[in-house]
Every structure is written in C-alpha cells, then in structure tokens.
Amino acid sequence: MLHINDLTFRIEGRAIFDGATAGVPTGHTVGLVGRNGAGKTTLLRLISGELVPDDGSITTAKNTTVGIVAQEAPGGPESLIDTVLAAETERAALLSEAETATDPHRIAEIQLRLNDIDAYSAPARAAAILAGLGFNEEAQQKPCAEYSGGWRMRVALASALFAAPDILLLDEPTNYLDLEGSLWLESFLKNYPHTVIIVSHDRELLNTVVSSILHLRQGKLSLYSGGYDDFEEQRREKQRLDLKLMAKQDAARRHMQAFVDRFRYKATKARQAQSRLKALERMQPIAAQIEERVAPFLFPNPAKQLGNPLLRLEDASVGYDAHDAVLRDLSLRIDQDDRIGLLGANGNGKSTFAKLIVGRLAPLGGHRRCSKKLEFGYFAQHQLDELNPRQSSYDHIATLMKDATEAQKRARLGGLGFGPGKADTKCANLSGGEKARLLFALAAFHGPHILILDEPTNHLDVDSREALIHALNDYEGAVILISHDRHLIEATADRLWLVANGTVAPYEGDLDSYRAECLSARGSGQARTGSGAGGRTGSDRDGGANSSAFSSQKEQRRIAADRRQQIAPLKREMEAGERRIEALSLEISVLDARLADARIYARSPDKALAWTKERGRLVKAREAAEETWMAATEAYEVAAAGGE
C-alpha cells in the first residue's frame, strides 16, 4: 500500500501540500484529479522520489518499484523496440551477465531468474505495446531520432508500460495519443496487475479504468471510491450535507449569541450566559464549500446564415505534393447543423483534411465548392506556439476590435475568462489552458459558419472540457471535431467520418463498435500478468452500460440540436435588439458631444434646436428598443432554461 502521511511541500514559499494524508490500496487504479496548478504533477514527482517533502512522508512496502514516464523523450540512434526492451533493467543486466558468466551455479541462477521474469517473451510483449500505441513492425525497427517529439513520447510511455513497475505513475498519458491509441491504453490499463496512479482530465478514461479518485484541493487529499462520475456525485452530496450542517450551526450560533447578548450582565442568568459563551468559543465552524468558477466558452453564432450545403467536395484529392495525394475520392458535404467527429489514426490525414476544408490547402484534383461569404474558425494545438509570447490577451483581442473602446475590449476579455488579473499577462506566462482559451476566442471571434477543432482539450481540465461541450452544443454553426477525448466526441458529435485507406467516408457505427475494431486491429492491450487485484476488467465496465450511456448521449445531442433550432429566432431577435440599442446610443453620444459646445447656441440656434429635438426622438426610440430587447431576452432565457 502507498501511504501519504501528513505531507507538506512548498514551492517558493507557497504551500502546495499542507498536511495532506491519503492511502492508495495495492493493486488499485486511482485517478488523481484537481484543478490546473493544484499540484498533481508535483505529487507524482514526490511519489517517484524526484522531489523530497518538506515535512511528512510517502512510504511503500519494501522493494516496491515505482515507474514514471520519462520527461525527456528518447531520441538516440537505438531502435524503438530496443529502447523499450532496455526499460526492464533487470532483464538487460541478466542477459549481459549470462554472456560472460562461467560459474555453473551462477549460470543456473541467471537462467532461473530469466525464466521467472518471462525474459524470453519480452520482445513480443514490447512489440505488442508499441503496436498498441501506433507503431507497426517496420516502424519499431527505426531509430528514435527519426521521430518527432510527440511520437517519441509514445515510446517513453511504452517503456514505462513495459517495465511494469509495482506503482505506475502516468501524467496525462493520452495527450500524445490519438483516439485509437487512447482506446488501446484504456484496455491495457484495465488489465494492469499492479497499482496505477493516473493524472488525467479525460473523463471517459477516469470513468472506465479507475477504481478510485484521489482529489487534490487546497493542499489536501481526499480518496473517493468509484470512477469520476461517482466522485462527482459523492462530492456534491458531501457539499450538500456540509451546507445543511453549516446552516444549522449558524442558526445555533445566532441563538446562543442572542442569549449571551441579552443576559450576560444579569445576575440570575450570568452562569447560563457564560456557559453558552464557552460553547460558542469551542464550536468549530463548518468550512464553506467555495468552488472555483470556470468561465464559459463563447462561440459567437454566424451573423448571417447561408444556405445548405455550406461546403461540398466533389471527387476531390488533397496533399502536399501534386504527385502524391494524401487523400483521394472525397465526395462529401457539410450542412450548417452538422456535428462531425473525425476518426482515424494519427498519420492518416485528419489534419490534412481539416486544412482542405478551411482552405489552407487547395484540392489537387476535383472540386471544393462553397460560398465566398463562408467564414471558418480553425483551432489546432500547434497554434499555441504561434501566439506572440510578448503580447498579452488584451493585445491579441485589441487587434480584432480596433474601433472598440477600452471598456468594450476588456468586457469582451472578461467574458472569455480573462479578468483584470489575466488580461495584461504576457502569453509567455499563461498556462496551456489559458492559451487554448485565448485561441478559441481568436478562432471564433467573427462568428464562423464552420468551426474546426483539432485536439482542443489537451490543456483543459475536466470542468473546462464540460464548459466546452456546453458551448459547442449551444453554437449554431457546423462543427468538425478531431479529438482523442471520447466523452467530448460522444457528447457533441452526431455524425462520424472515418479517415482511413487514403480517403474520408461516413462511419455507420458508433464509438463502441469503433473501439472494438481498434482493439482487434492493435491487439487486446492485455497486461502481461492478467487482471490486477482491486481493478475492474473490461467486461465489468463495458457492454450494456456503455451502450446505454451512448444512447443517452445521442438523445441529449438530439435535444440540444432541437433546442438550438427552436430558440435561434429568439436569440437573433435579442441580438438584433442589442445592436439597435448600441446604434442609438452611439447616435445620442454624437449629439451630446455637439450640444456640449456652448457656442453652438449663439452661432446656430436653429441647428441646436434641431439637434435637441433629434436627441429627444432618439432617446424615445432607445427606450422603446430597450423594452423590446428586454421582452426578447426574457423570452429567450425562458425558452433556453426550459430545454435544459
């Protein structure tokens, strides 16, 4: 068992952990969750021994091995398979010794130990793990140096999985994986025979794989049984009970204080008053549950709807070389109410297809047809590095709002989650989640008709991902989504397209059937010793429950789509009212500036009188517009609330 006892750790004087205590049972798979910056990665580094606590302790059983994915991706001349095999250091040492040993007894000991650790099947096990993470047999023989950083991080993950430590520590393991790799990893971890602690914001992974949730909040640790949904339910119930107890305690305190205030100076009641005063001093207040607010994502709707289809591909091909197309035979259409999830392994051409849709790549053959008025919003992970590190969020937004006032720019930023403390922070000092939030705002600023999101959730915590789902379901344009986050796809996409075999085509199954196909193609993902103690096998968590959940999510998406269609006219009326009020206010402010010049009354009294009458007319018009806007807003809010 892993014991965390009264742990205290500070970074530059700030307490990351303050008397944190928890116990992780042997063989359990635990999801470590908490807001960005809470200290989750720091805890993994403390458990691995990379960092030393300021106070308290972290203890495990004697001879327990702890493994963590290397932060430095392997990049040497060694092949992928040799790099993974080298992770099992005991096997490598024994094989090396076996080549030079001469003592018969020692040779026998080496061979027995090699047999015990299943050393001779190691190449097959390593190859199976690499295949599950997306490397075919040919790729496994290539040097690590030939691969990009993201692919090399997969090799680092494969090495950690192959070593099979007693305690496996994984920090956002799906960030460098595609959906197919994430599904394989999910299957592998279900059958891992030892203890696993996973830091992840992937709700589906936390629901499917883990048996407990370790919640890190305000320097304390709390262990909850079950998956993430179970944790959320238990936490809400605890908050409800705490609030109920706090209200009851506050009432008791008020009653006691009233008695003390009334009778403490009366001789006949002094003893009772003093007794209640001491009770008040001993009463420990129940801490209020203060939840950190997650700012919503805002995707402005298209200012003007276009006819369907928004975009059509006719026998199109696309690629980076005129003689070697990546994708061919593309005959597809996108309508304004489409919610499309793109499936397919990394390297099959999903991002290339997205660039064709948005117009960053022209078709090599065939046709791409769309209106010249069609607006796109495009988000891709690599764009995080394209933000000017010396500019702030305010600087980036200001370039798109050149005619707006300072107050209007900052109000827009505040609605996007960049309040006074963040609006002027240089991008170099923003977190990955904050950079992603800024990029969402820039990509969708002008109300695009088609929104394309390529891996949008890598830097978002669970609550921010839920906020993204709500924003996408409220958005009235078309959405094309590339993501390894299964929960995001299931909650937002109502159509699936598969990018495979050099083309893109509609996929008729659901994500459960796609998962089964992926696991069949990449191997089952079985850990080398079978099911782990305390964990749950795939049959325990899959099947009817997943099918029911998917059906429920499809129904939720259908309801959300119907609600968008029903309330769209009300929303447009409300937004038109806002624009009308702004236009009238601007005209009034222009007249106010003219009438503020005292000389106009002497030089041109007729003009001053005309302007005064015009101002009165505009004020009445604005009042009427405000009444219309208020009625439209109320109607919209009632309709929107009724759909939730």
DSSP string, 130-162: HHHTT--HHHHTSBGGGS-HHHHHHHHHHHHHH
How far apart CA 274 and CA 580 sit, in angstroms, is 65
Pairing relationship of beta strands 450-454 and 311-318 according to DSSP bridges: unpaired
Using left for φ > 0, alpha for ψ between -120 and 50, and beta otherwise, residue 502 falls in left
- 243-252, 316-325, 512-521, 587-596: which range is least confident on average? 243-252
Alpha carbon distance, N-terminus to C-terminus of the chain: 44
In whole angstroms, what is the distance from residue 143 CA to residue 77 CA? 5
What's the mean pLDDT in 324-331? 93
Furthest-apart CA atoms within the chain: distance in Å: 119
CA 548 to chain centre: 24
Q: What tokens does 182 get? A: 């994430």
- Please check the confidence at residue 549 and state whether its pLDDT lies above 60: no
Distance, C-alpha 250 to centroid of its chain: 38
Checking phi first, is residue 347 left (phi over 0); if not, alpha (psi -120 to 50) or beta?
A: left
The b/e string for 41-69 (b: 16+ C-beta within 10 A; e otherwise) is ebbbbbbeeebebeebebebeeeeebbbb
Answer with the residue of higher pLDDT: 45 or 600. Answer: 45
Per-residue pLDDT band at 186 (split at 50, 70, 90): very high
For the stretch 156-176, pLDDT in tens is 999 999 989 999 999 999 888
Per-residue confidence (pLDDT) for residue 289, from 0 to 100: 46
Binning pLDDT at 50, 70 and 90, where does residue 500 land?
very high
**Phi, psi angles (nearest 5°) of residue 270:** -60, -40
Distance CA 85, CA 292 (A): 44
The rounded distance, in Å, linking the Cα atoms of 574 and 593 is: 29
Q: Which of 227, 223, 452 lies closest to 356 in space, CA to CA?
A: 452
Half-sphere exposure of residue 567: CA atoms within 13 angstroms, side-chain side: 27
Q: Say whether pLDDT at 405 is over 60.
A: yes
* CB-CB contact of 476 with 464 (8 Å): no
pLDDT tens sequence across 214-227 = 999 889 999 999 99
Confidence grade of residue 328 (pLDDT, cut at 50, 70, 90): very high
Q: Give the model's confidence band at 543: pLDDT under 50 very low, under 70 low, under 90 confident, else very high.
A: very low
CA 446-412-202 angle, to 5 degrees, is 80
**311-523 topology per CATH:** Rossmann fold (3.40.50)
Q: Is the pLDDT of residue 548 over 90?
A: no
Residues 448-461: tens digit of each pLDDT: 999 999 999 888 88
Bridge-partner residues for 519, per DSSP?
none
Which distant-in-sequence residues (6+ apart) come within 8 Å of 20 by Cβ?
4, 6, 7, 8, 56, 216, 219, 220, 221
Q: What distance in Å separates the CA atoms of residue 328 and residue 316, rounded to the nearest whole number?
A: 6
- The DSSP element (H or E) to which 187 belongs, if any, is helix 179-190
- Tell me the average pLDDT of the chain: 82
Confidence of residue 202 (pLDDT cuts 50, 70, 90): confident
Distance in angstroms (rounded) separating the CA atoms of residues 118 and 116: 5
Which residue carries 């096997």 as its tokens? 91
Beta-carbon contacts of 417 under 8 Å, excluding residues fewer than 6 positions away, are 295, 296, 434, 437
Query: Tokens 């192959």, residue?
Result: 162
Q: Is the pLDDT of residue 47 over 60?
A: yes
DSSP, res 383? G
pLDDT above 70: percentage of residues in the chain: 83
Phi-psi region of 543 (alpha: psi -120 to 50; beta: other; left: phi over 0): left
Q: 567-642, which class in CATH?
A: mainly alpha
- What mean pLDDT is predicted for residues 602-629? 86
CA distance 40 to 280: 38
Indicate the burial class of 599 (C-beta count within 10 angstroms; 0-12, 13-18, 19 or more): exposed
CB environment 76-89: b (16+ within 10 A), e (fewer): eebbbbbbbbbbbe
In b/e form, how buried is each residue of 406-443, taking b as 16+ CB within 10 angstroms?
Answer: eeebbebbeebbbeeebbeeebeebeebbbbbbbbbbb
364 or 586, which is more confident? 364
Region 231-247 average pLDDT: 73
Do the Cβ atoms of 608 and 600 come closer than 8 Å?
A: yes
**Better pLDDT: 169 or 13:** 169
Confidence of residue 271 (pLDDT cuts 50, 70, 90): low
Whether the predicted pLDDT of 191 surpasses 60: yes
Whether 45 contacts 51, CB under 8 Å: yes
Rounded distance, CA 246 to CA 142, Å?
Answer: 63
Per-residue exposure over 466-489, b if at least 16 CB sit within 10 Å of its own CB, e if not: bbbbebbbbbbbbbbbbbbbbbbb
Q: Does the domain spanning 1-65+165-226 belong to CATH 3.90.1150.10? A: no
Peptide linkage before 363 cis (omega within 30 of 0): no
* Cβ(532)–Cβ(193) below 8 Å: yes
Instruction: Extract the tokens encoding 70.
Output: 């290397």
Q: Residue 286: what pLDDT?
A: 47
Contact criterion met (CB below 8 Å) for 80 and 139: yes
Among 467, 456, 473, 476, CA closest to 300:
476
pLDDT of residue 637: 63
DSSP secondary structure string for all residues of 40-71: HHHHHHHHHTSS--SEEEEE--TT--EEE--S
Helix axis angle, 605-642 to 544-595, nearest 10°: 170
Residue 465: CB atoms within 10 Å: 20
User: What pLDDT sits at residue 450?
Assistant: 95
Query: Is the predicted pLDDT of residue 387 greater than 60, yes or no?
Result: yes
Question: What pTM was estimated for this model as a whole?
Answer: 0.66
CA distance 4 to 21: 5
Instruction: Let me know: does 643 contact 563? Beta carbons within 8 Å.
Output: yes
Q: Across residues 58-86, what is the average pLDDT?
A: 86
d(CA 619, CA 584): 8
Q: Which of 382, 538, 461, 506 is CA-nearest to residue 202? A: 461
Query: How confident is residue 558, by pLDDT bands cut at 50, 70 and 90?
Result: low
pLDDT at position 62 is: 87
117 φ, ψ (degrees, to nearest 5) = -90, 10
Residue 136: Cβ within 10 Å count: 11
